[in-house]
Chains A and B, each alone.
Chain A
Amino acid sequence: MEVVRQKLTTPATTDAPTDFRIQQLRARDMLRGDLTDTELEKYVEERVLTTTLDKAVKWAQSNALFPLTFGLACCAIEMMSIVGGRVDVARFGFEAFRASPRQADLLILSGRISIKMAPIVRRIYDQMLEPKWAIAMGACSSSQGVFNNYAIVPADKFMPVDVHVPGCPPRPESLMHGILKLRKMIQADPDMGWRDRYEARGTEEIVETQGTAQDAADNVYRESTK
């Protein structure tokens, strides 16, 4: 989901909500001296409005994560049981597991990742569309766990992980705690730059299209009939 930020053409009128108006006035007071009258008005209106919109979007994103239906090993069974009746992750809105990475925005690495599997996991991560997050569930995908050997690779080696959930395997409650931590993180948006470090920004695999959706459909058709 991409948020299009539009500049306001007319100044906000007095019938805007009062607390919003107060925020604008406060911001204007803080910036007095750097900008002049009309510029200042405009700047403040844009800023306060877009940050509020960002907040609303983050609130929406963080409360409706769609995890990917993707099990690796032991932890996958405990991951399935968070949907079950006892822990019931649906209370928080994270129960809609999606089978396609295109529709999911949370990748739960539930189990050990072998060296053979690592490129596939990275590819699945790249196939997910922004915004996307990853949880490393269990000791194996965080630090190799008990299998400190030739076959296993921790997830941090090849993709950015937002939350690590310890345990072998973690209880469903701890996974839930991890997901709720992630929710808090999304709302606060503390991007500490790890996505850039892993070159995980702008790596989504998207079919290049130009023009309208109709054109894209034509393209696919032409490609297939070639």
Chain B
Amino acid sequence: MSASLDVVSPGAAEQAEQFHPEPEQELLTMNFGPHHPATHGVLRLLCTLEGEVVRDLKPIIGYVHTGIEKTAEDKNYWQAIPVVERMDYLAYYFNAYAYCGAVERLLALEVPKYAQYLRVIHLELNRIKSHLVWLGTSALDLGAVSMFWYCFREREQVLDLFEMSSGARMHTRYIQVGGVADDIPPGWVDRCRTFTALMRRRADEYGALLNRNEIVLQRLRNVCIVPKERLLELGVTGPLLRAAGMPWDLRKADPYCSYEDFDFKIPVGTIGDNYDRFAVRLAEIYESCSIIDQAVDRLDDVEGGHIADDRKVALPPRHELATSMEALIHHFKLVTEGYRVPPGEAYFPIESPRGELGCFVRSDGSAKPARVHMRDPSFVNLQALADMVHGTYVADLIATLAMLDPVLGGIDR
């Protein structure tokens, strides 16, 4: 190490030798994971260390490979929704929506505006929830233990909303082809408004706790900078790319699901260090709250039901089954056989909390998808980790991994 120091004067050289008494002679290969608590899942990293400095890093993945894409091929189109939901388990609404969006594109199915708004509300709630889990666990890694309790307190509130609208906390299967599974129950809107108001206040508190926390700032500021050109080369998207100053967000760049109706900003960082990655996500919480408020306010004005009227794709309402023979037949056919999708290919990208989440579906004309593939942002973003941590300390590796926010369920699928 001392050989690589820039020596400016004889005095400085002496000082340098004093603080670096023994240069590290050999590289150490260290295994990290797959069950280390700081890897946020079952990620395994092979680090080559020179002393405490990371010289090389190889992520080894596949420890939660679940065969989801293969399983989806074995199911009807509507049966595959719960399976794809379990990929990125912090962004299940996004997984379901990317898949349903691709299928809707193949079917050329028009989704009613009301259903689109309900989707937007739930997607943004999910984005907040995902960022809360990220913030809680990342702050835990940095030593700010109390953040974990604060973030999980608010997470429970989001999950209560999910539970009210769909009956489940996680993996709700709320979004489905043609719209959403059911209309929101009475009282949901008020509760949602209360939550966004509360969430803004809480996000202020998080900022107050962390933005002036000297330890957090020392650990995050000017650490592990990667310029946006390199990130673009690697295909990185989402908050990581925006933190480096590139305002790329599919909600603006290629609006889907009526995102063009809402007025919101894309938070962008300046230099792309760990602090920017943190600050961009925290700012996104406010923007999501704003989108939810706008969508909730306009829910009464938009037309359409919670699901498309096409009975060849969407299940008939429950009450019709008792009176209409036709509805009963449609229900039976849809549940047993499913619907056939015209042959073709569709790729449907959306902006998940971690970046571009795209679903590719190929249909051969049968009731089961011939191929389902997810372009998961965590998988692509993980490539940037080696670039980020090259030449930094092991402690910064932990902070960077936390700020990268990988979800191994999405990476391995």
Interface string of B163-178 (1 = CB under 8 A from A): 0000001110000000
B interface residues, tally (CB under 8 Å): 35
For A131, what are the chain B residues with a Cβ–Cβ distance below 8 Å?
none
- Contact at B170–A152, with CB atoms within 8 Å? no
The main secondary structure of chain A at its interface with chain B is: loop
For A72, what are the chain B residues with a Cβ–Cβ distance below 8 Å?
41-42, 64
Q: From B66, B156, B171, give the contact of A169 (CB < 8 A).
A: B171
For B90, what are the chain A residues with a Cβ–Cβ distance below 8 Å?
77
For A112, what are the chain B residues with a Cβ–Cβ distance below 8 Å?
64, 66
- Contact at A151–B65, with CB atoms within 8 Å? yes
Distance A84 CA – B133 CA, assembled complex (angstroms): 12
- Contact at A116–B35, with CB atoms within 8 Å? no
- Contact at B89–A147, with CB atoms within 8 Å? no
For A81, what are the chain B residues with a Cβ–Cβ distance below 8 Å?
152, 155-156
Indicate whether A80 reaches chain B with its CB closer than 8 angstroms. yes
For B86, what are the chain A residues with a Cβ–Cβ distance below 8 Å?
73-74, 146-147
For B409, what are the chain A residues with a Cβ–Cβ distance below 8 Å?
73-74, 111
Q: From A71, A77, A80, A114, give the contact of B66 (CB < 8 A).
A: A114
Smallest CB-CB separation from B63: which chain A residue?
Answer: A117
- Contact at A120–B64, with CB atoms within 8 Å? no
CB distance from A30 to the nearest CB of B (A): 50
Smallest CB-CB separation from B169: which chain A residue?
Answer: A171
Known: A72-B42, A114-B65. A77 touches B170 (CB 8 A): yes
For A120, what are the chain B residues with a Cβ–Cβ distance below 8 Å?
34-35, 63
Indicate whether B194 reaches chain A with its CB closer than 8 angstroms. no
Indicate whether A69 reaches chain B with its CB closer than 8 angstroms. yes
Indicate whether A124 reaches chain B with its CB closer than 8 angstroms. yes
Distance A150 CA – B65 CA, assembled complex (angstroms): 10
For A70, what are the chain B residues with a Cβ–Cβ distance below 8 Å?
35, 37
Q: From A80, A116, A169, give the contact of B170 (CB < 8 A).
A: A169
Indicate whether B112 reaches chain A with its CB closer than 8 angstroms. no
Stretch from B67-75, B317-325, B383-391 forming part of the interface with A: B67-75
Indicate whether B230 reaches chain A with its CB closer than 8 angstroms. no
- Contact at B65–A71, with CB atoms within 8 Å? no
Q: From B42, B66, B137, give the contact of A147 (CB < 8 A).
A: B66
Known: A117-B34, A120-B35, A169-B171. A151 touches B66 (CB 8 A): yes
Interface positions of A from 142 to 167, Cβ below 8 Å from B: 146-152
For A77, what are the chain B residues with a Cβ–Cβ distance below 8 Å?
89-90, 133, 170
Indicate whether B62 reaches chain A with its CB closer than 8 angstroms. yes
For B67, what are the chain A residues with a Cβ–Cβ distance below 8 Å?
147, 149-152
Indicate whether B82 reaches chain A with its CB closer than 8 angstroms. yes
CB distance from B139 to the nearest CB of A (A): 13
Distance A148 CA – B156 CA, assembled complex (angstroms): 30
A selection of 17 A-B contacts at a CB cut-off of 8 Å is: A72-B41, A73-B89, A77-B89, A78-B169, A81-B156, A84-B148, A84-B152, A111-B409, A114-B64, A114-B66, A116-B65, A117-B63, A120-B34, A146-B82, A146-B83, A150-B67, A169-B171
B residues contacting A by CB (< 8 A) are: 34-37, 41-42, 62-68, 70-71, 74, 82-83, 86, 89-90, 133, 137, 148-149, 152-153, 155-156, 169-171, 408-409, 412
A residues contacting B by CB (< 8 A) are: 69-74, 76-78, 80-81, 83-86, 99, 111-112, 114, 116-117, 120, 124, 146-152, 168-169, 171
